[in-house]
Amino acid sequence: MAEDDLVVVRATFGGTSRGPLMGAIPTGKSVQIASMVIVRLRDGRFVERWEQMDLLGLMLQLGVVSQPGEEGGHA
């Protein structure tokens, strides 16, 4: 979606946990993470960028953190 000098993109990325990530050990699990990116353009170039990724959702998928009421996750 774009208007004036702003462009908004929603994306979903997928992968497999094969190496350490933010202190978490590799799990071999397949994961998906949603992201929302907003960029401001000037003369065809990115001059500002904001991104919000669902890192809590990623950590839940990896088992690093737990849903409320579940047993504790591991790091």
**Nearest to 75, CA basis, from 67, 66, 31:** 66
Percent of the chain with pLDDT over 90: 72
Distance CA 23, CA 38 (A): 28
- Confidence band, pLDDT 50/70/90 cuts, at residue 21: confident
Distance CA 69, CA 21 (A): 25
Domains defined for the chain, CATH in brackets = 2-62 (3.10.450.50)
Range of weakest confidence among 2-11, 48-57, 62-71: 62-71
Supply φ then ψ for residue 53, to 5 degrees.
Answer: -110, 150
Q: Tell me the CA distances in angstroms from 71 to 9, 14, 19, 47, one per residue in order.
A: 35, 26, 24, 44
- Confidence band, pLDDT 50/70/90 cuts, at residue 72: low
Tell me the pTM.
Answer: 0.72
